[in-house]
A and B are shown apart, each in its own frame.
Chain A
Amino acid sequence: MTAAEAPKPISQAQKDEILAIVACHKDQPGPLIEILHDVQRSLGYVPAEAVPLIAGALNLSRAEVHGVVSFYHHFRSAPHGRRVLRLCRAEACQSMNGRALERHAMKRLGIGFGETTVDREITLEAVYCLGLCACSPAAMIDEEVHGRVTPERLDELLKRAGAGVRP
């Protein structure tokens, strides 16, 4: 069900892009996380090949850079689907049937958290609080926020997002 294929090796253009991003931030104090954000914004994920490039340019060890990439939930090591659906799993959303919404989403998409549909249309991610707790349960599709999301509403949103749901 999951499209968990290994990401393709990155191109020379992408390598150049990574080095340009590093050069841009190099003189900032403590720039690593800023660099990783820009790499992910630009390429959609932080490829393994980026680690030695960044490490070399910042005079850090590869282990240090890898350690940072893997510490933060936000950084991905593989490309995500065309759109990303984030469902809030925190307490306020649970108090308004968030758990049922999670089950519905997984069933509908045929994937679990952290996975991407086979057609690479949608990635499902867990998030712990979107700050929309007074209109729970909450979801975010890319950067578009939604409150009081029922299973029916989620289906509508997925349809509108152009993400195919499991027949």
Chain B
Amino acid sequence: MTVTVWISRDAGALALGAEATAQKLLAAAQAAGTAIRLRRNGSRGLYWLEPLLEVECAAGRIAYGPVTAKDVPGLIDKGLLRGEAHPLRLGPIEAHPWFASQQRLTFARVGRIDPLDLDDYIAQGGFRGLRRALEIGSAATVNEVLESGLRGRGGAAFPTGIKWQTVLKQPAGQRYITCNADEGDSGTFSDRMLMEGDPFSVIEGMIIAGVAVGATRGYIYLRVEYPHAYQVMNAAISAARKAAYLGTDVCGSKHAFDIELRLGAGAYICGEETSMLESLEGRRGEIRVRPPLPAEKGLFGAPTVVNNVVTLATVPVVLAQGAAAYRDFGQAKSRGTLPLQLAGNVLRGGLIERAFGLTVRELLYDYGGGSASGRPIRAVQIGGPLGAYLPESQFDTPLEYEALSAIGAMLGHGGVVAFDDTVDMLEMAKYAMEFCAIESCGKCTPCRIGSVRGAEALGKIARGINPEGNCSLVEELCDTMLQASLCGLGGMAPYPVLSAMKHFKEDFAKRTAAS
């Protein structure tokens, strides 16, 4: 009898040795004379348990983890392939409290299926959303997305339905769907996990968008730092084309739609939508002044939908289950579920998809189990390098758009990075300015010059040179950047700086005393 074993090929799992585990398993099973079928999936998102191994038994998929290559022979001796007891045995992963308490809609298939197996995808609900969109037609599809309350998960949180409606209203002609897969924020990896774990959901979301707004061509702009996602996405596009989900006649309908995958080239600013469009057109990723909005005049001057990977992969869920079912999750103006990414100095990091409303503290301690170092968590940064730092006193804030905005923070792409009490917040503030200087596109002065001057002034504070004067200089600079930058890079880089100065005064005062 052949035993089926699942080991992830997600980049995070590979970074922790999944490939060595897989190879060892194949060799050990052969030596033991047991036939196995090794299947590769995305990650379940419990990264502290990777490499995670799941064995298909009568009782379901029994997980073991973390299983390194050197654990494999011992595990096989103890009956791994029959799902027997072992200290590394976790049971069915879906019953694990860390997983069972989640509400996985967008990530429903990630880790459960072979990402490149179309039959797996269809068997688990794939293309149901597309079929419904084709049935109800363009206007009703846009309306469904509008009614669902879905907001852009890339960071700006703009209502997706309104974007689509704007494109739909433009005069007839060429229109484009672009998928922003330039996931550059530190602490975020949900786009990567989706592309590596369930690429057809991204493709399906783009096709639905194309049907909804009357676009026949889509582009995925993927960052070059994700070679694994590139391979999987490329293979998935080919498979979808072969099965006629992409091409001149999508699913036998009269709609034509095809996708081209383009690689970025290591510029953080290209995650900003207009800069991404410039880059797709083959130019320097300098941002465009708005208006006109991309929905009116976007890629190659045509009306363009720009949506993030998670947003697009959520669209099939909205269509398949209905706007009302999706909107029932969440609270206030944050509807649906949010894939949170817990990272940095935590014991149990990974992907947690739940309805909006979980507090920072619940995330850090109930899921994260506190810091990895065992020291107190002193600060968290939410929403990437342009997100504010929160002190412990703000940990009861719910992770939703309005609540975070009320305390001068932002949810962004849902990445949460924890720091223990060894963190030097002056260093982090300085880093925020340095990062902005490295990644500034150079088009506007507040960002290009402000970030360089900001890093210099913070460097002086660190060396004890006129700390008070330099602190007020930084504040003034931040004000100029906030008010006068053309886009979110210069316009938001002040958030981590000002929040660090406000909530962690002692790190700046220490230098004051030293001078």
> Which A residues lie at the B interface, using CB under 8 A?
29-34, 36-37, 64, 67-68, 71-75, 90-96, 127-136, 138, 140, 143, 145-148
A-B contact pairs, 26 of them (CB 8 A): A32-B283, A34-B263, A71-B284, A72-B267, A74-B266, A74-B267, A90-B385, A91-B186, A91-B428, A92-B186, A92-B415, A92-B417, A127-B266, A128-B186, A128-B438, A128-B439, A129-B184, A129-B225, A130-B226, A132-B189, A133-B343, A133-B344, A134-B341, A134-B349, A134-B350, A145-B15
For residue B365, CB closer than 8 A to chain A, the reply is no
Which residues of chain B come closer than 8 Å to A145, judged between CB atoms? 11, 14-15, 228
Q: Is the CB of B184 within 8 A of A134?
A: no
Question: How far does the Cβ of A125 sit from chain B's closest Cβ, in whole Å?
Answer: 9
Which residues of chain A come closer than 8 Å to B268, judged between CB atoms? 128
Chain B residue nearest to A147 (CB atoms) is B15
Which residues of chain A come closer than 8 Å to B428, judged between CB atoms? 91, 94
For residue B192, CB closer than 8 A to chain A, the reply is yes
Which residues of chain B come closer than 8 Å to A33, judged between CB atoms? 262-263, 265, 279, 282
Q: How far is it, in angstroms, between the C-alpha of A145 and the C-alpha of B9 when the chains are bound?
A: 12
9 pairs of A and B residues whose beta carbons are closest in the complex = A90-B186, A134-B349, A32-B282, A133-B343, A72-B265, A147-B15, A74-B266, A95-B344, A73-B266
For residue B423, CB closer than 8 A to chain A, the reply is yes
Which residues of chain B come closer than 8 Å to A71, judged between CB atoms? 267, 284-286, 441
Q: How far is it, in angstroms, between the C-alpha of A67 and the C-alpha of B188 when the chains are bound?
A: 30
Instruction: Name the residue in A72, A92, A129 with the highest tally of chain B Cβ atoms < 10 Å from its Cβ.
Output: A92
Q: Beta-carbon contacts of B433-470 to A below 8 Å, as 1s and 0s? A: 00100110100000000000000000000000000000
Q: How far is it, in angstroms, between the C-alpha of A72 and the C-alpha of B441 when the chains are bound?
A: 10
Question: How far does the Cβ of B183 sit from chain A's closest Cβ, in whole Å?
Answer: 6
For residue B420, CB closer than 8 A to chain A, the reply is yes
Q: What number of B residues sit within 8 Å (CB to CB) of A?
A: 61
Task: Knowing A36-B265, A72-B265, A92-B344, say if A147 contacts B300 (CB, 8 Å).
Answer: no
Which residues of chain A come closer than 8 Å to B16, judged between CB atoms? 135, 147-148
- Which of B14, B267, B341 meets A133, CB within 8 Å? B341
Which residues of chain B come closer than 8 Å to A95, judged between CB atoms? 344-345, 417-420, 423
Q: How far is it, in angstroms, between the C-alpha of A90 and the C-alpha of B347 when the chains are bound?
A: 19
- Which of A31, A34, A67, A73 meets B284, CB within 8 Å? A67
Which residues of chain B come closer than 8 Å to A96, judged between CB atoms? 344-345, 372
Question: How far does the Cβ of A31 sit from chain B's closest Cβ, in whole Å?
Answer: 6
Task: Knowing A30-B300, A37-B263, A75-B265, say if A133 contacts B186 (CB, 8 Å).
Answer: yes
Q: Is the CB of B187 within 8 A of A72?
A: no
Q: Is the CB of A134 within 8 A of B186?
A: no
Which residues of chain A come closer than 8 Å to B224, judged between CB atoms? 37, 74
Q: Beta-carbon contacts of B270-285 to A below 8 Å, as 1s and 0s? A: 0000000001111111
Question: How far does the Cβ of B258 sit from chain A's closest Cβ, in whole Å?
Answer: 13
Chain A residue nearest to B230 (CB atoms) is A143
- Which of A68, A75, A92 meets B187, CB within 8 Å? A92
Instruction: Name the residue in B12, B188, B341 with the highest tally of chain A Cβ atoms < 10 Å from its Cβ.
Output: B12
- Which of A34, A127, A134 meets B343, CB within 8 Å? A134
Question: How far does the Cβ of A27 sit from chain B's closest Cβ, in whole Å?
Answer: 13
Question: How far does the Cβ of B485 sit from chain A's closest Cβ, in whole Å?
Answer: 18
> Which B residues lie at the A interface, using CB under 8 A?
11-12, 14-16, 47-48, 50, 183-189, 191-192, 224-228, 262-268, 279-286, 300, 341-345, 349-351, 372, 381, 385, 415, 417-420, 423, 428, 431, 435, 438-439, 441
Q: Is the CB of B189 within 8 A of A131?
A: yes
Q: Is the CB of B419 within 8 A of A134?
A: no
Question: How far does the Cβ of B147 sit from chain A's closest Cβ, in whole Å?
Answer: 32
Which residues of chain B come closer than 8 Å to A132, judged between CB atoms? 11-12, 15, 189
Which residues of chain A come closer than 8 Å to B48, judged between CB atoms? 134
Which residues of chain B come closer than 8 Å to A74, judged between CB atoms? 224, 264-267
Question: How far does the Cβ of A25 sit from chain B's closest Cβ, in whole Å?
Answer: 10
Which residues of chain B come closer than 8 Å to A148, judged between CB atoms? 16
Q: Is the CB of B381 within 8 A of A138?
A: no
Q: Is the CB of A30 within 8 A of B420?
A: no
Task: Knowing A30-B280, A132-B11, A134-B341, say if A73 contacts B227 (CB, 8 Å).
Answer: no
Which residues of chain A come closer than 8 Å to B343, judged between CB atoms? 92, 133-134, 136
Q: Is the CB of B225 within 8 A of A131?
A: yes
Q: Is the CB of B266 within 8 A of A91?
A: no
Q: How far is it, in angstroms, between the C-alpha of A29 and the C-alpha of B280 when the chains are bound?
A: 9
Task: Knowing A30-B300, A92-B186, say if A131 contacts B11 (CB, 8 Å).
Answer: yes
Instruction: Name the residue in A75, A96, A133 with the highest tally of chain B Cβ atoms < 10 Å from its Cβ.
Output: A133
Question: How far does the Cβ of B182 sit from chain A's closest Cβ, in whole Å?
Answer: 11
Q: How far is it, in angstroms, between the C-alpha of A143 and the C-alpha of B264 when the chains are bound?
A: 16
Q: How far is it, in angstroms, between the C-alpha of A29 and the C-alpha of B2 when the chains are bound?
A: 49
Question: How far does the Cβ of A73 sit from chain B's closest Cβ, in whole Å?
Answer: 4
Task: Knowing A72-B266, A95-B344, say if A131 contacts B183 (CB, 8 Å).
Answer: yes
Q: Is the CB of B417 within 8 A of A91?
A: yes
Question: How far does the Cβ of B25 sit from chain A's closest Cβ, in whole Å?
Answer: 20
Chain A residue nearest to B46 (CB atoms) is A134
Which residues of chain A come closer than 8 Å to B14, judged between CB atoms? 145
Which residues of chain A come closer than 8 Å to B185, judged between CB atoms? 129
Chain B residue nearest to A86 (CB atoms) is B225
Q: Is the CB of A37 within 8 A of B265?
A: yes
Q: How far is it, in angstroms, between the C-alpha of A73 and the C-alpha of B350 when the chains are bound?
A: 28
Which residues of chain A come closer than 8 Å to B417, judged between CB atoms? 91-92, 95, 133
Q: How far is it, in angstroms, between the C-alpha of A138 and the C-alpha of B12 when the chains are bound?
A: 10
Beyond A128-B439, A136-B344, 8 additional contacts (C-beta under 8 Å) are: A31-B282, A74-B264, A94-B428, A127-B266, A128-B435, A132-B12, A133-B189, A134-B342
Instruction: Name the residue in B283, B285, B441 with the highest tally of chain A Cβ atoms < 10 Å from its Cβ.
Output: B283
Question: How far does the Cβ of A139 sit from chain B's closest Cβ, in whole Å?
Answer: 9
Question: How far does the Cβ of A65 sit from chain B's closest Cβ, in whole Å?
Answer: 10
Which residues of chain A come closer than 8 Å to B435, judged between CB atoms? 90, 128
Task: Knowing A132-B12, A133-B344, say if A127 contacts B282 (CB, 8 Å).
Answer: no
Chain B residue nearest to A95 (CB atoms) is B344
